[in-house]
């Protein structure tokens, strides 16, 4: 602005329309100063916000990586025979070790799958390492500590766990993504939770997006100005403030109980197991979350539609378009960026919800993959919540890694919406 | 309406060719019906919520230990010994909400103004989605962030003896951080949607960028900004996990933000997840709290609507 | 037209919301006889009179206590040597009494389960305290070849009983407190007769911050006093302690841990029903449902004291000090032997009918009771003594009619 205003000042005569030149210059300086000051303040606000959120992310990253002290139940050295190290033992020797140390039940299962003697040596060695040596994490340190105080961690570990060795562990690793949940933090994963979260969110979006945009169009374009419309409008704003756990109770009453035949899949014969017919399924969870995010979606879409200038509509009508044609071809494309903002916020909100899902019936321990909208499920936040409440530090590391997974998932899910918004987002004339 | 009828009358009188007569468009009617149904879903949701909360609350208010007058006027909430005064919970909710708003509204609006009026589109396109995605971090994580980061920070600044380990200030501040993306993102949308012609007019009159932003763009976007604020306040009132973890879990009637106090949502989540029997009065009480919360947000919404109507400016 | 549509939808929704009618309850079968204790009765005398063998008194204690869970008119016998006149106790039929006494004396071995042959769903829900243990057992069950699917929802004992007794949708309820009589009634209303299996013990650790230099041991009376509204400052409990406010940290009023503490510490000192009010009216009392949050709280001040599950102390030994109670420190030996006074039982509940109709449930509970003591330490709880475990296994045999 400032650069642009100076050439004009040079052209001006002694007195202008606005008063004495010196006076104008002074007031301009002051106004620009104030402008710069506020600009700095606005930037500072943004930076404060970003710093606060970075602190949060840092807290999560700090827990997701770091040194761990690993102890083995039986050290590989103790399993060496006659000076031959564990890695080089023969098949028979490995089988003997398994027979000796592995519990009866597990052995029975392993033998039922394939007799031990017929297995490859590599496979047996893997089994010995997993089942007999049993590495176990006894303590973990944060990323910051691992990087900055490595020396003192080493001495602390040597003193407290003389038989343990230190290693750097990324809690976020391929196994973590591909394994189901477990009570042992070393092998626990989030596979079931990721699938459950995805299924749930897809149903949520499929239901909430058309409903939300539809409601917004109705309210902005069609609704007559009458008490009913006002009621709907107030009601939507009000629903945005209802605590999520109450939506959970609503979901329990309507989707789990009243609409059970629908949500358990019984109406299409999609029942997974007839002895356990109940409505605590992905379907119920998705529908509950859809109700939860609906107000957020509607309000955003409404604001976006309202911001579309009336002249656009009038131009459409003047050309003889019907109301719906105007809405579909002119209003909606122009309102899309705002609608997508609402969608992104809604997806984020729905992905992070815990309380309503616990009420609706997310399982805390479940190791089989959901096979459709009518199966029982768990979601990432439910796992995260459950892990943070555990006494052992290792579970909190898992929780942090799971949060990173959740964020990555959100970014992928929202990528399309973000790109579309950036493309359509342009200043209206 | 009046023009439509007179137009129809005109058509009839001049016996125009049939193709000019208003066509019956069944699809349009169908679409309108569908759209109305979409709007009606929200009404059904509310009916459902009121029904669920109402029936259970009825059990609560009907029991002999509870007296509606006492419920609304006394300041001690100890269900275990039959004292049901809602105020400690309401008070704590209002305190955490106030703190959250003190963070989220000014910072959110200022960030939005910066993003919309000053920042380059590249910066905006990167920062905005990042901020929005942070809204997807489960709130339980924000709760632990409050307890293990914000509270120690407050204790360091104000002294350990003044700031208790659980306090409403810490929970409220972190809740502000949680809501910040919602406010900034929605406000930014509203600001961006203000027609460029308005800005250009202001610049043409010699206004600085700040003057344009504050005196022209913000008033023009006020409807959207207020909508963001209302959603933010509603979200703060209804937020659960942060307060459950960081604000404390004993109902206490205090105005000191550095002391622990349990909010309405905190109480609901604590009781519903506990070992308490489902047929105890304590359990029924949480539906009554939910109903009060519902009414509170309703009143809040009505007030903010009134304010919005007063200041709203409509531009073409 | 559209208004009519809305009306129709509303009516349908409201109709759908109406509660479904309850299922008629089948009659509850009772075995054995009730007996009102007379002045001067001892258990041995009653056993002698009833069965002609005074050694069968152990069977009476066992059966009576099981029935007392289900029927509020029956008095539980906590100490075999003290009976009070007027108590109504429950005597098992003679042949059952003999069997119980015999099995308890020699120990019960359950029929061996081969998880490889077990299929079908198992649905369980309940206490978040029992959750880690059940999770571990379920995992082992799967590891040994179970082909079906098992789910465990960690939702709190109360909600667990709600799903088990009211909506009847779960096969097993996990609980960190005994079932309440009102819950037994609603269970019976839907035709379920709950059977209790004790699976372990959660020790309660009374802890102070590492900075605290004046506490190592408390008597139960001192502990009750510290957590009551009777005192405000440490020096009021013992003049040698500092003249500072006590900062109290306790699990929430809705937790089984809190109930346990009130019953065994507060009520023991202040009298039945008085303890709860005393602790809740105390100043500087902080309640939290999340024990990690309590850990943070106690760590935060030199003058803080709190109690919670032992596992949470175990993970924070470098930040907290655990106190001895009546001179006994909590550890495996003292808890298992029942010497340490603050130990809370953990339970599973199911019914004989579910276990017969869904053999996978019976197999899982059998497996649980067989191997629980091998796994329980690794999740931070204490194993059951041989006698208690025997009683749980006996309950399994009984429920299966074996």
Average pLDDT for residues C45-72, to the nearest whole number? Answer: 85
Contact (Cβ atoms closer than 8 angstroms) between residue B153 and residue B188: no
pLDDT given at position A292: 92
Q: How far does Cα A322 stand from its chain's mean position?
A: 41
Give the structural domain span for A26. 1-33
Please give the Cα distance from C349 to A299 (Å, whole number): 47
Higher pLDDT: A389 or C201? It is: C201
Task: Please name the residue that has the structure tokens 């109301």.
Answer: A323
Is the pLDDT confidence value at B237 over 70? yes
Q: Return the CATH number at A352.
A: 1.10.3720.10
Q: Return the CATH number at C370.
A: 3.40.190.10
Q: Which residues of A touch B272 (CB under 8 A)?
A: 245, 359
3-state secondary structure chain C: CHHHHHHHHHHHHHHHHCCCCCCCCCCCCCCCEEEECCCCCCHHHHHHHHHCCHHHHHHHHHHHHHHHHHCCCCCCCCCCCCCCCCCEEEECCHHHHHHHHHHHHHCCCCCCCCHHHCCCCEEEEECCCCHHHHHHHHHHHHHCCCCCCEEEEECCHHHHHHHHHHCCCCCEEEECCCCCHHHHHHHHHCCCCEEEEEEEEEEEEEEEECCCCCCCEECHHHHHHHCCCCCCEHHHHCCCCCCCECEEEEECCCCHHHHHHHHHHHHHHHCCCCHHHHHHCCCCEEEECCHHHHHHHHHCCCCEEEEEEHHHHHCCCCCEEECEECCECCCHHHHHCCCCCCEEEEEEEEEHHHHHHCHHHHHHHHHHHHHHHHHHHHHCCECCCHHHHHHHHHHHHHHCCC
pLDDT given at position A426: 56
pLDDT given at position C5: 47
Higher pLDDT: A124 or A6? It is: A124
pLDDT tens figures, B69-86: 888 888 888 777 778 888
Contact (Cβ atoms closer than 8 angstroms) between residue B243 and residue B151: no
pLDDT given at position A73: 82
Binned at pLDDT 50, 70 and 90, residue C386 comes out as confident
A134 CB within 8 Å of a chain C CB: no
Do the Cβ atoms of C154 and A361 come within 8 Å? no
Task: Please name the residue that has the structure tokens 């004993």.
Answer: B250
Q: How far does Cα A19 stand from its chain's mean position?
A: 59
pLDDT given at position A16: 57
Contact (Cβ atoms closer than 8 angstroms) between residue B160 and residue B255: no
Q: Which residues of C touch B260 (CB under 8 A)?
A: 286
Binned at pLDDT 50, 70 and 90, residue A53 comes out as confident
Which range has the worst mean pLDDT, A153-162, B68-77, C210-219? B68-77
C152 and C38 both lie in a single domain: no
Q: Which residues of C touch A180 (CB under 8 A)?
A: none
Domain boundaries, chain B: 72-311
A126 and A156 both lie in a single domain: yes
Torsion angle of C-alpha atoms B210, B214, B220, B221, degrees rounded to 10: 100
Binned at pLDDT 50, 70 and 90, residue C346 comes out as very high
pLDDT tens figures, A270-287: 555 544 557 888 999 999
pLDDT tens figures, C281-301: 888 888 777 788 788 889 888
pLDDT given at position C26: 37
pLDDT given at position B18: 57
Please give the Cα distance from C375 to C364 (Å, whole number): 15
Is the residue at A393 inside a domain? Answer: yes
pLDDT tens figures, C151-192: 998 888 888 998 899 888 899 999 988 898 889 999 999 989
Is the pLDDT confidence value at A232 over 90? no
Is the residue at A23 inside a domain? Answer: yes
Q: Which of A256, A354, A365 to mutate to test the interface with C (most CBs of C within 10 A)?
A: A365
Do the Cβ atoms of B49 and A240 come within 8 Å? no
Is the pLDDT confidence value at C362 over 60? yes
Count how many domains chain A has.
3
Tell me the Ramachandran region of residue B159: left when phi exceeds 0, alpha when psi lies from -120 to 50, beta otherwise.
left
Binned at pLDDT 50, 70 and 90, residue A4 comes out as very low
Please give the Cα distance from A20 to A15 (Å, whole number): 5
Which range has the worst mean pLDDT, A314-328, C5-19, C196-210, C259-273? C5-19
Contact (Cβ atoms closer than 8 angstroms) between residue C153 and residue C135: no
A204 and A284 both lie in a single domain: yes
Q: What is the CA radius of gyration of chain B?
A: 25
C216 and C322 both lie in a single domain: yes
C213 and C326 both lie in a single domain: yes
Structure tokens at C257: 């841990």
Query: B280, B279, B289: which is closest to B251 by C-alpha?
Result: B289
Give the structural domain span for C218. 203-336
pLDDT given at position A270: 53
Percent of chain B with pLDDT over 90: 15
Is the pLDDT confidence value at C7 over 70? no
Write the DSSP string, B144-178: HHIIIIIHHHHHHHH-TTTS-SS-HHHHHHHHHHH
Binned at pLDDT 50, 70 and 90, residue A428 comes out as very low
A55 CB within 8 Å of a chain B CB: yes
CB atoms within 10 A of CB C400: 17
Binned at pLDDT 50, 70 and 90, residue C15 comes out as very low
Is the pLDDT confidence value at B313 over 70? no
Put simply, the chain A residues between 247 and 266 with a CB less than 8 A from any chain B CB are: 247, 249-250, 253-254
pLDDT given at position A210: 93
Least CB–CB distance from B46: residue in A222, A235, A411: A235
Q: Tell me which range, B74-83, B244-253, C132-141, is most confidently predicted by mean pLDDT.
A: C132-141
Is the pLDDT confidence value at A212 over 90? yes
Torsion angle of C-alpha atoms B241, B243, B249, B250, degrees rounded to 10: -150
Average pLDDT for residues A251-273, to the nearest whole number? Answer: 74
Look at residue B275 and give its three-state secondary structure: coil
pLDDT tens figures, B116-163: 989 888 888 888 888 877 777 788 888 888 888 888 888 889 887 788
Least CB–CB distance from A386: residue in C120, C144, C154: C154
pLDDT given at position A15: 56
Packed helices A380-388 and A191-217: angle between N→C axes, nearest 10 degrees: 120
pLDDT given at position A9: 45
pLDDT tens figures, C113-124: 888 888 888 999
**Does domain B72-311 bear CATH number 1.10.3720.10?**
yes
Task: Please name the residue that has the structure tokens 């995605």.
Answer: B133
Structure tokens at C102: 């015999």
Please give the Cα distance from A298 to B35 (Å, whole number): 12
Q: What is the distance in angstroms between the Cα of B33 and the nearest Cα belonging to chain C?
A: 6
Q: Return the CATH number at C81.
A: 3.10.350.10
Is the residue at C5 inside a domain? Answer: no
A162 and A202 both lie in a single domain: no
A5 and A72 both lie in a single domain: no
Please give the Cα distance from C59 to C31 (Å, whole number): 14
C55 and C149 both lie in a single domain: no
pLDDT given at position B20: 61
Binned at pLDDT 50, 70 and 90, residue B312 comes out as low
CB atoms within 10 A of CB A130: 13
Please give the Cα distance from B256 to C105 (Å, whole number): 61
Percent of chain A with pLDDT over 70: 91
Count how many domains chain C has.
3
pLDDT given at position A219: 92
A290 and A375 both lie in a single domain: yes
End-to-end alpha carbon distance in chain A: 21
Q: Which residues of C touch B51 (CB under 8 A)?
A: 14, 17
pLDDT given at position C2: 47
Please give the Cα distance from C160 to C156 (Å, whole number): 6
Binned at pLDDT 50, 70 and 90, residue A19 comes out as low
For residues A274-287, one letter each, b for 16 or more C-beta atoms within 10 angstroms of the residue's C-beta and e for the rest, the string is eebbbbbbbbbbbb
Is the residue at A9 inside a domain? Answer: yes
- What is the pTM assigned to this prediction? 0.83
Nearest CA in chain A to C134: A365
B142 CB within 8 Å of a chain A CB: yes
pLDDT tens figures, A342-398: 888 888 889 888 888 888 888 888 888 888 888 888 999 888 888 887 888 888 899
Average pLDDT for residues B245-268, to the nearest whole number? Answer: 83
Is the residue at A382 inside a domain? Answer: yes
Last residue of a domain, which of C106, C130, C146?
A: C106
A268 and A368 both lie in a single domain: yes
Is the pLDDT confidence value at A2 over 50? no
Is the pLDDT confidence value at C22 over 80? no
Neighbours of chain B (3+ CB pairs under 8 A): A, C
Structure tokens at A297: 């979606």
Binned at pLDDT 50, 70 and 90, residue B224 comes out as confident
């Amino acid at each position: 602005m400032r650069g642009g205003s100076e050439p004009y000042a040079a052209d001006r005569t002694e007195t202008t329309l606005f008063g004495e030149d010196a006076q104008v210059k002074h007031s301009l300086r002051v106004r620009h100063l104030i402008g710069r000051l506020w600009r700095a303040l606005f930037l500072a606000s943004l930076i404060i916000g970003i710093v606060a959120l970075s602190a949060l992310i840092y807290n999560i990253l700090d827990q997701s990586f770091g040194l761990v002290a690993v102890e083995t139940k039986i050290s590989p050295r103790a399993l060496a025979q006659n000076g031959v190290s564990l890695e080089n033992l023969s098949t028979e020797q490995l089988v003997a070790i398994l027979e000796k140390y592995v519990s009866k039940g597990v052995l029975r299962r392993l033998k039922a799958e394939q007799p031990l003697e017929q297995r490859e040596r590599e496979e047996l060695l893997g089994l010995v390492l997993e089942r007999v040596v049993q590495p176990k994490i006894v303590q973990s340190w944060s990323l910051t500590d691992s990087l900055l105080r490595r020396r003192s961690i080493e001495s602390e570990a040597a003193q407290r766990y003389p038989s343990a060795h230190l290693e750097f562990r990324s809690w976020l690793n391929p196994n973590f993504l591909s394994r189901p949940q477990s009570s042992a933090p070393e092998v626990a994963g989030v596979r079931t939770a990721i699938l459950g979260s995805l299924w749930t969110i897809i149903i949520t979006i499929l239901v909430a997006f058309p409903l939300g945009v539809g409601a917004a169009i109705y309210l902005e374009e069609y609704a007559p100005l009458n008490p009913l419309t006002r009621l709907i409008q107030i009601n939507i704003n009000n629903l945005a403030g209802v605590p999520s756990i109450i939506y959970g109770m609503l979901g329990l009453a309507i989707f789990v109980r009243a609409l059970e035949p629908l949500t358990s899949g019984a109406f299409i014969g999609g029942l997974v197991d007839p002895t356990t017919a109940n409505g605590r399924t992905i379907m119920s969870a998705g529908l509950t979350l859809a109700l939860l995010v609906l107000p957020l979606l509607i309000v955003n879409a409404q604001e976006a539609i309202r911001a579309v200038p009336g002249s656009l509509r009038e131009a459409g009508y003047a050309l003889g378009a019907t109301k719906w044609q105007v809405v579909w071809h002119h209003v909606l494309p122009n309102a899309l960026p705002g609608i997508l903002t609402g969608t992104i916020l809604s997806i984020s909100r729905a992905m992070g919800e815990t309380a309503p899902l616990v009420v609706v019936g997310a399982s805390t321990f479940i190791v089989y993959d959901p096979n459709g909208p009518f199966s029982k499920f768990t979601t990432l936040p439910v796992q995260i919540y459950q892990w943070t409440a555990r006494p052992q530090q290792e579970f909190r590391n898992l929780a942090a890694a799971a949060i990173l997974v959740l964020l990555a998932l959100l970014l992928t899910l929202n990528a399309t919406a973000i790109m579309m918004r950036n493309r359509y987002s342009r200043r209206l004339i | 309406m009046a023009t439509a009828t007179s137009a129809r009358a005109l058509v009839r009188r001049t016996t125009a060719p049939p193709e000019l007569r208003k066509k019956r468009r069944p699809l349009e009617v169908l679409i309108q019906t569908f759209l109305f149904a979409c709007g009606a879903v929200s009404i059904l949701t509310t009916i459902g919520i009121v029904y669920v909360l109402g029936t259970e609350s009825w059990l609560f208010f009907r029991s002999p230990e509870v007296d509606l007058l006492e419920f609304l006027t006394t300041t001690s909430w100890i269900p275990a010994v039959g004292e049901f005064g809602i105020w400690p919970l309401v008070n704590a909710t209002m305190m955490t909400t106030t703190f959250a708003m003190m963070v989220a509204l000014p910072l959110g609006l200022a960030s939005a103004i910066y993003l919309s009026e000053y920042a380059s589109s590249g910066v905006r396109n990167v920062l905005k989605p990042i901020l929005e995605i942070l809204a997807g971090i489960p709130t339980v994580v924000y709760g632990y962030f409050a307890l293990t980061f914000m509270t120690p920070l407050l204790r360091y600044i104000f002294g350990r003896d003044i700031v208790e380990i659980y306090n409403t200030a810490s929970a409220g501040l972190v809740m502000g951080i949680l809501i910040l993306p919602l406010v900034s993102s929605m406000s930014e949308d509203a600001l961006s949607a203000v027609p460029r012609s308005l800005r250009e007019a202001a610049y043409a009159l010699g206004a600085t960028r700040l003057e344009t932003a504050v005196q022209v763009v913000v008033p023009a976007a006020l409807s959207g900004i207020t909508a963001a604020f209302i959603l933010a306040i509603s979200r703060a009132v209804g937020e659960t996990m942060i307060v459950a973890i960081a604000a404390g879990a004993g109902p206490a009637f205090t105005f000191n933000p550095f002391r622990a106090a349990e909010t309405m949502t905190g109480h609901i989540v604590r009781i519903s997840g506990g070992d308490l029997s489902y047929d105890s009065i304590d359990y029924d009480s949480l539906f009554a709290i939910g109903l009060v919360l519902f009414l509170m947000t309703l009143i809040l919404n009505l007030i903010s609507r009134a304010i919005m109507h007063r200041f709203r400016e409509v531009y073409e | 037209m559209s208004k009519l549509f809305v009306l129709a939808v509303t009516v349908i929704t409201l109709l759908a919301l109406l509660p479904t009618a309850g299922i008629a309850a089948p009659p509850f079968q009772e075995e054995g006889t009730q007996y009102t204790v007379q002045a001067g009765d001892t258990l041995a005398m009653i056993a002698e009179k009833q069965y002609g063998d005074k050694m069968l008194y152990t069977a009476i204690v066992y059966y009576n206590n099981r029935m007392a869970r289900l029927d509020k008119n029956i008095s539980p016998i906590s100490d075999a040597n003290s009976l009070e006149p007027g108590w109504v106790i429950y005597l098992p039929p003679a042949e059952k009494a003999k069997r119980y006494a015999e099995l308890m004396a020699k120990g019960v071995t359950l029929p061996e389960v081969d998880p490889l042959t077990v299929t079908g769903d198992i649905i369980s829900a309940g206490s978040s305290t029992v959750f880690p243990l059940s999770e571990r057992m379920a995992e082992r069950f799967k590891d040994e070849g179970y082909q079906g699917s098992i789910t465990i929802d960690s939702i709190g004992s109360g909600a667990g009983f709600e799903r088990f007794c009211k909506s009847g949708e779960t096969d097993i309820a996990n609980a960190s407190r005994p079932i309440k009589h009102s819950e037994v009634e609603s269970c019976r209303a839907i035709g379920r007769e709950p059977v209790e299996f004790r699976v372990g013990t959660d020790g309660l650790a009374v802890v102070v911050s590492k900075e605290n230099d004046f506490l190592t041991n408390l008597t139960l009376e001192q502990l009750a006093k510290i957590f009551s509204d009777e005192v405000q400052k440490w020096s009021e409990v013992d003049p040698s302690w500092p003249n500072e406010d006590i900062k109290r940290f306790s699990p929430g009023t809705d937790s089984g841990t809190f109930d346990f503490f009130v019953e065994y510490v507060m009520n023991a000192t202040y009298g039945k029903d008085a303890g709860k009010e005393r602790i809740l009216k105390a100043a500087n009392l902080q309640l939290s449902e999340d024990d990690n949050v309590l850990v943070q709280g106690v760590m935060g001040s030199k003058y803080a004291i709190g109690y919670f599950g032992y596992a949470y102390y175990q993970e924070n030994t470098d930040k907290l000090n655990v106190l001895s109670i009546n001179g006994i420190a909590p550890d495996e030996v003292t808890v298992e032997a029942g010497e340490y006074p603050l130990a809370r039982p953990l339970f599973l509940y199911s019914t004989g009918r579910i276990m017969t109709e869904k053999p996978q449930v019976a197999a899982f509970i059998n497996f649980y009771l067989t191997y629980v003591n091998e796994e329980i330490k690794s999740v931070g709880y204490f194993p059951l003594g041989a006698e208690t475990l025997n009683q749980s296994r006996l309950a399994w045999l009984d429920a299966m009619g074996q």
